[in-house]
Amino acid sequence: MRSFLGLKTQQLLSGVFSSSAAVRWRAARTRLLCTSSPDEGKRPPSMLRHLTSKLKATGPISVAEYMREVLTNPVTGYYVKNNMLGPDGDFITSPEISQIFGELLGVWILSEWMGAGRPKQLQLVELGPGKGSLASDVLRVFSQLQSVLCEASVSVHLVEVSPALSRLQAQTLTGDSSREADAEDELVYRRGETAAGLPVSWYRRLDDVPTGFSIFIAHEFFDALPIHKFQRTEKGWREVMVDIDPEKSDQLRFVVTPSPTLASSTFVHADERRDHVEVCAEGGVIVQQLARRIVEDGGAALIADYGHEGTKTDTFRVLSSNVFVRTGFKGHRLHDVLASPGSADLTADVDFSYLRRTAGGGVACLGPVTQRTFLKNMGIDTRMQALLRNCRDPSTRKQLISSYDMLTNPEKMGERFHFFSLLHHSRLATPTRATGMKLEKTSPAPLPVAGFTELSFS
Ligand SMILES: C[S@@+](CC[C@H](N)C(=O)[O-])C[C@H]1O[C@@H](n2cnc3c(N)ncnc32)[C@H](O)[C@@H]1O
């Protein structure tokens, strides 16, 4: 369906696109998240040691607990360790490939803020901000469109579990101005200020972010949250757990519980037809929190990730060295997800149907639409044409084209990544019409939701 975006969104886009500021291009090495290769010889054994002693003490742990320990353990977790930030450990995600990605999301945020009637307060909340590049690109759009934001009080709130990454984000967004909290139990564990004077605060949990009109962004965040895995057996659903391999005490293996667990009894949908299911209960809780905040305080959430509509089965895997290592549970072999824990990133596809179900009816859900569709609807082609028209340098042109291709090509990130949004119901409400004899004022039609509606530059 083709429809026309409001003039206001088009004006936002042209305000950003007409900027003559030089375009910085980030290294476009590969798609997805690139991590240092799990070098067996050098890997620190501490995580494996920690896990084996835990397993000896408690018995098998759920895959969710394994993933939580491996990724976010406060001492040895993958996201918490410093060495993932070195030259070999960079994130290479869409915001890192090209600044256009963050700019278009910046336009989306402003468009939703305008669609909500330009509230006096705008909290930009990002979950899992990585290096801070996406927030930085969004804030540049805010400063280019300062005349639109006018007197609105803008603040930035980052939910980040990794102190090491928070330092990197602080450097990107606030230079040397940020300060860590004195006490360890402070809800805001770091504070700073951007060059334009916007306050930036860091939290460990979404729950700690103050209430108020907020636009939430989560790019490649939900896929990093722990999943439970369940296997259909002749006796019913059973949970997949992680245990020590009895034949090799320094190796881990998957086992299936002999009887149902609380999780297998509660998380698997009654009419589930698949034989193997992954459930990200933590993601469900976060989506419920987002939905509640949007209902109570207004705002919207934009979630971008790879995922499916409740159709896939075994997607748990390692992201490593630019190579998409498929691992999986089936076959009951020793799998890469269990080898060298803590030395590489673990991930699982996001089940958007589960997120929609857990969001409940209080909010409207849009999408998922593919990244290609979303970026094209947001005007990435127009932006590219303008950049190429003004660019004479052959190598910059080549890089522009290759970054565009990486983000939008269906074979690359274009169809693998999806955008999904939670909105306040009033955002999509149809205008009131005059009824009977009484002349009621007809409110203007709501702005179409950018990105989820095809954009037309008229
Ligand atoms: C895969 S990276 C994505 C980074 C960034 N959004 C990007 O696209 O470049 C995941 C991010 O989420 C953070 N993270 C992972 N689990 C988290 C949790 N449970 N709570 C808060 N942050 C988390 C990581 O430290 C990291 O910043």
Tens digit of pLDDT at every position of the chain (458 positions) = 333 345 566 666 666 655 544 444 454 333 233 333 444 444 445 899 999 999 999 999 999 999 999 999 988 888 887 545 444 554 578 998 999 999 999 999 999 999 999 999 999 999 999 999 999 999 999 999 999 998 899 999 999 999 999 999 999 999 998 999 988 889 999 999 999 999 999 999 999 999 999 999 999 999 999 999 999 999 999 999 999 999 998 899 999 999 999 999 999 998 999 999 999 999 999 999 999 999 999 999 999 999 999 999 999 988 754 333 434 444 434 448 998 898 888 999 999 999 999 999 999 999 999 999 999 999 999 989 988 999 899 999 999 999 999 999 999 999 999 999 999 999 887 666 555 555 555 566 677 899 998 766 54
Distance 240 CA to ligand 1 centre (A): 25
Describe the chain by its helix, strand, coil percentages, rounded to 5.
40, 25, 40
Which residues, in sequence order, are CB contacts of 87 under 8 Å at separation 6+? none
In this predicted structure, what is the pLDDT of residue 37?
40
Q: Is 159 in the pocket of ligand 1 (CB under 6 A)?
A: yes
Helix (H) or strand (E) holding 163, with range, is helix 163-174
Give the per-residue pLDDT at 340.
85
* Residue showing tokens 């693998």: 416
* Class of the domain covering 7-35+78-227+280-312+349-428: alpha beta
219 ligand 1 Cβ < 6 A: yes
161 touches ligand 1 (CB under 6 Å): yes
In contact, 276 and 314? CB cutoff 8 Å = yes
- Centre of ligand 1 to C-alpha 224, Å, is 7
What separation in angstroms does the CA of 446 have from each of 8, 80, 364, 425?
Answer: 11, 43, 14, 11
pTM, entire model:
0.88
Which residue type sits at 83? Answer: N
Half-sphere exposure (Cβ direction) of 61: Cα atoms closer than 13 Å: 22
From atom 5 of ligand 1, which residue's Cα is the shortest distance away? Answer: 130
pLDDT for position 183 = 84
Question: What is the bridge-based pairing of β-strands 228-233 and 236-245?
Answer: antiparallel
The whole-number pLDDT of residue 321 equals: 43
- Going from N- to C-terminal start, the domains of the chain cover 7-35+78-227+280-312+349-428
Beta-bridged to residue 420, according to DSSP, are 303
Q: Best of 79, 94, 205, 223 to mutate for ligand 1, by most ligand atoms within 8 A of CB?
A: 79
> What Rg value do the Cα atoms of the chain yield, rounded?
23
For the Cβ of 286 lying below 6 angstroms from any atom of ligand 1, the answer is no
DSSP state for residue 400 in the 8-state scheme:
H
